[in-house]
Amino acid sequence: MKSFDAIVIGAGQAGPFLAARMVEKGMKVALIERKFLGGTCVNAGCMPTKTLVASARAAHVARNGAVYGVNLSGEIAIDMKVVRGRAETVTMNARNGLIGWFAGMDGMTVIFGHARFEDPKTVSVNGETLTAPRIFLNVGARPVIPDLPGVNDIDYLTSTSIIHLDRLPRHLAVIGGSYIGLEFAQMYRRFGAEVSIIEHGPKLASREDEDISDAIADVLRSEGIDIHTGASDIAFARSRDGITVATDSARIDASHVLIATGRKPNTDDLGLDAAGVIADKHGYITVDDSLATNVDGIWALGDCNGQGAFTHTSYNDFEIAAANLLDGDDRKVSSRILAYALYIDPPLGRVGMTEKQARASGRKIMISTRPMSRVGRANERGETKGFMKVIADAETKKILGAAILGIEGDEVIHGIIDAMNAGTTYPALQWSVPIHPTVSELIPTLLGDLKPV
**DSSP characters for 115-141?**
-EEEETTEEEETTEEEE-SEEEE---E
How confident is the model at residue 186, as a pLDDT? Answer: 98
Q: Which of 183, 212, 177 is nearest to 198 (CA)?
A: 177
List Cβ neighbours of 60 (8 Å cut-off, separation of 6 or more).
190, 223, 345
Among the candidates 261, 279, 306, a domain finishes at 261
Q: Are residues 343 and 375 in the same domain?
A: yes
Q: What is the pLDDT of residue 85?
A: 97
pLDDT band at 342 (very low <50, low <70, confident <90, very high): very high
436 is catalytic: yes
Give yes or no: residues 281 and 252 share one domain. Answer: no
- Based on the domain organization, do 17 and 136 belong to the same domain? yes
Of 205, 231, 261, which closes a domain?
261
What's the confidence (pLDDT) of residue 130?
A: 98
CATH of the domain at 331: 3.50.50.60
Domain identity same for 409 and 374 = yes
Instruction: Tell me the pairing of strands 242-246 and 235-239.
Output: antiparallel
Each residue's pLDDT tens digit, 286-312: 999 999 999 999 999 999 999 998 999
Of the pLDDT bands very low, low, confident and very high (cuts 50, 70, 90), residue 194 is very high
Q: Are residues 167 and 43 in the same domain?
A: no
At 218-261, the pLDDT tens digits run 999 999 999 999 999 999 999 998 999 999 999 999 999 999 99
> Are residues 28 and 108 both part of a single domain?
yes
Nearest-5° Cα angle at 278, 206 to 4: 115
Q: What is the pLDDT of residue 162?
A: 98
> Do 83 and 166 share a structural domain?
no
The percent of residues in the chain predicted with pLDDT above 70, rounded, is: 100
65 and 94 inside one domain = yes
Same domain? For 311 and 232 the reply is no
Q: Cβ(226)–Cβ(247) under 8 Å?
A: no
Are residues 134 and 21 both part of a single domain? yes
Q: Tell me whether the omega of the peptide bond preceding residue 143 falls within 30 degrees of 0, making it cis.
A: no
pLDDT band at 73 (very low <50, low <70, confident <90, very high): confident
Whether 90 contacts 48, CB under 8 Å: yes
272 pLDDT exceeds 90?
yes
Average model confidence (pLDDT) across the chain: 97
Average pLDDT (150-173) is 97
Residues 6+ apart with CB under 8 A from 105: 20, 23
Task: Provide the sign of the torsion angle of the four alpha carbons 371, 377, 379, 383, taken in this order.
Answer: negative
Which CATH number covers residue 445?
A: 3.30.390.30
Segment 391-410 shows an average pLDDT of 98
CA atoms within 13 A on the CB side of 325: 24
> Quick check: 114 and 277 in contact, CB under 8 A?
no
Short-list 288, 289, 287, CA closest to 304: 287
Domain boundary residue, one of 315, 335, 355: 335
Task: Report the Cα 240 to chain-centroid distance in Å.
Answer: 36
CA distance 357 to 94: 38
What is the domain extent for residue 157? 151-261
- 163-190, pLDDT tens digit by residue? 999 999 999 999 999 999 999 999 999 9
Distance of CA 374 to the CA centre of its chain: 29
For residue 74, pLDDT beyond 90 = no
Q: 408: which DSSP letter?
A: T
Q: Is the pLDDT of residue 84 over 90?
A: yes
Question: Quick one: 225 and 350 in the same domain?
Answer: no
- In 330-406, the DSSP E strands lie at 339-342, 348-352, 365-371, 387-393, 399-405
Q: 3-class DSSP state for residue 254?
A: strand
Same domain, 380 and 321: no
Domain count, the chain: 3
The per-residue pLDDT for 377 is: 97
